[in-house]
Structure 1
Amino acid sequence: MRTRQDLRPRVQKETDPWAISIPPVSIANRVHEEEHMLLWQVRGYTDLLIDGEPLRLLSGQAVWIPAGAWHSLVVGANSVLLPLEFPVNIIATTLSQVTVFNVDRDLGTPLLAFLQSQASIICAEVNLARQILALIEQSPIVANTLPLPQHPQARRVAALLIANPGDDRTVAQLAATMHVSGRTLERAFLAETGMTLGQWRLQNRMECAAELFKSIDNIAAVAARVGYMNVSAFGRVFKSHFLLTPGEYIERYARGY
């Protein structure tokens, strides 16, 4: 049986840096056709070659490698590189180019949670991929044409939903995040946009989906990105909004109608 003394925090011993010995690791040229890759440099450095272009990734940085890009890499000695996979057929993104970005605390938290969910049974009931993409995409999916509320907290909620149209928090949860009541949010949206928050969110999702369809023809992936795991339900809502099915919209846009 463990005693109360056993449960006390242990004093962390100072570690001799020379005690750590992780040799370099080389990965030969490869390509992922079905997944986008995000490589997070947690410690040290990694030298990459992506579609023939050299890149050194430093501690605290990450690189987005879109599906179909050939890449090889050498992880430096005593370095740690963490890979995350984003299946193409599950979620859509506007990131179509190799992109390097810094990983701050705000981004590091969902990245760690995403890794945790992939490596263990500890998995939060939330779509972490959508949150990560909302943070790393260089701009929102669409330069939104919806009217915006002027109430400070309501405007912040609108900005959150533009960045991450698939955000599935309830009105009460969004209001709690902003430290206001759900009734206050609803009143602000209705008075200043002419729509309830639910109506505004639905229109935002459909406009974002339409924008994604300009470059992505995977209906299930786009549906998931804007908050629909049921493709049939998404298709019904999309058609009621645009009077076209997603497939018809994709074909019409591709033809330049």
Structure 2
Amino acid sequence: MSRSGQAAAAPGRDAGPRFPSTSDASLMVGSFAMPSRWRFGTHTHPWHQLAWAAEGVLTVETGEGLWVLPPVRALWIPAGVPHATAAHRSSVMRSPYLRPDACPVRWSAPTVVHVPPLLRELIVHLAGSRASGDARVRAEAVLCDLVEPVDAGPVLLPLPSDGRARRVAEALLADPSDGRTLDAWGRAAGASGRTLARLFLAETGMSFGRWRTQARLRAALRLLAEGLPVAAVAGRVGYGTPSAFVAVFRRAFGVSPARYFTAG
């Protein structure tokens, strides 16, 4: 393993460089080529990680939810937070890892970060062997200065434990475009619509309508990451018109689908 953290990745294994127990290093950059659908199973790191796709699109999932990350967005993952990382299509993950006791960023929860061109080039610069000594120290300090949060939370999708509500949830995950009413779902699941509504709220913390919207947004993010046009995605996740889908997406993420994947 080089100081830059170069490594060959394998499905289901932990992703990250070997962190030195005694070292003056305060930042390393790991680079991983990830074929389409490649996944690193749930793991933790002793250092903070900035998960960033230099190419392609990553998804990161923690106990707090799921994030879909095009190259203009990265996810700050605090040390010790269990997470799983996957590639939607052929991708390159290039992640800075920062030693907690030498890092000025103190966020205690996963946080989305905008990746402007300067931050992108600085990560690439630090991943190589060009920076060393005082020059590297200065570059690492600038990287930390450039880490700025974006107001974008994860897609939260807890599953109900009751068997009847669980069947409905799993059916919607399989086909988010299914627009049946709660009463119709109740007839299929063996419960009244009122019972299902109560179960979803009690067991997921969301109304049925909000849960279904989250399921549709999660599916939409994955389809958009695969390069499908907005109009096609809207229909596949249950919206009658692209404009209706864009309005829901904008309320959830603060930007349009196109801007989500092209700018922070």
TM-score range, shorter chain: 0.3 to 0.5
The structure that has the greater radius of gyration is: 1
TM-score by length of 2: 0.40
TM-score by length of 1: 0.41
